[in-house]
Amino acid sequence: MIRSLFGPPFYFQETLEQMYLIGIGSLYLVVLTGLFSGQGFALAFSNELADFGAKNYLGRIMSISIVRELGPTLTGLMIAARVASGITAEIGAMKSSSQIDAMLAFGIDPIKKIAGPRLITLLIMAPVLTIVCDVIAIVGAWVIAVYISHVSSTLYWACVFERLTFGNMFFGIIKPVIFGFIIAVIACYKGFSSEGGTKGVGQATTNSVVLASITILMVNFFVTKVIYPYIKGYL
């Protein structure tokens, strides 16, 4: 599958089509996720911070938690739920109806043709969607900060931008790239290895989403743990 990224033929049209389906198609999900999780977190944090008289630091906390952890993880989970299931079901259905065999019979490498464009798409679109989620979540939190917690708008944005450091943004970009890779590999593998007709495709789809979601959560921890010492100075 990794080899499919290199060497001809390149399936530009399929990749663009997948970018539209996966990227634009997931936009509403990511926007809603970012908006409500950002607002929920802002509400919870502002109440807690108010007890210590530290409400003005809300922007700072939201910036760190969303960019570094919440945005990548929630976006990864949403993409896993929507896209991994779709990819596995599509490939599984193609396999059970012999369309994969037909491709091979006509000299097409199905890994290159099907998995390649989806992998490239997820490597690109997962970070893009994460940035969208981050922005929406921070804006959603701003609404709560200004209109409910009565934090100064200027102060909120100053705190947000103060914490948009190279280190935090690096975390926020590298994680979704890894999550996109995980989702593509698991979803395609589960699709190509599905057996047992419709029932098998259903099971493979469920397993794909569960495995991708759990792996994202686990890998998120390990990436934070491994990268943190190297990036500490830039946070």
Partner 1 sequence: MIELQNVSFAYGTKPVLRNVSFQLDQNESVVIMGPSGSGKSTILRLILGLATPDEGQVLVDGANICAMREKDKQEIRKSIGMVFQDGALFDSLTVGENVGYYLIEHTRWTWQEIEAKVTEMLGFVGLDADEIIDKLPEQLSGGMQRRVAIGRALLSTNPKIMLYDEPTTGLDPQSTENVLQLINKLTRERRISTIVVTHQIADAFNVSDRFIVIHAGEVAFDGTTRELRDSKDERVAAFLAPFKSSFTGVAEREFLNS
Contact residues for partner 1 (CB under 8 A)?
Answer: 9, 97-99, 101-102, 104-109
> How far apart, in Å, are the Cα atoms of 162 and each of 60, 73, 118, 165, 170?
7, 22, 36, 7, 15
The tally of CA atoms less than 13 A away on the side-chain side of residue 59 is: 20
Work out how close the CB of 29 gets to partner 1 at its nearest, in angstroms, rounded to a whole number. Answer: 23
Which residue number, 9 or 234, has a Cβ lying nearer to partner 1? Answer: 9
Work out how close the CB of 211 gets to partner 1 at its nearest, in angstroms, rounded to a whole number. Answer: 21
Work out how close the CB of 90 gets to partner 1 at its nearest, in angstroms, rounded to a whole number. Answer: 9
Residue type, 17: E
117 preceded by a cis bond (ω within 30 of 0): no
Which residue number, 114 or 178, has a Cβ lying nearer to partner 1? Answer: 114
Work out how close the CB of 105 gets to partner 1 at its nearest, in angstroms, rounded to a whole number. Answer: 5
Which residue number, 111 or 135, has a Cβ lying nearer to partner 1? Answer: 111
CB-CB contact of 187 with 212 (8 Å):
yes
**End-to-end C-alpha distance for the chain, whole angstroms:** 35
- The number of helices, as runs of H, and strands, as runs of E, in the chain is 11, 0
Tokens representing 74?
């929630």
Which residue number, 7 or 233, has a Cβ lying nearer to partner 1? Answer: 7
Which residue number, 9 or 158, has a Cβ lying nearer to partner 1? Answer: 9
Distance CA 233, CA 235 (A): 6
Helix (H, G, I), strand (E, B) or coil at 77: helix
Work out how close the CB of 115 gets to partner 1 at its nearest, in angstroms, rounded to a whole number. Answer: 16
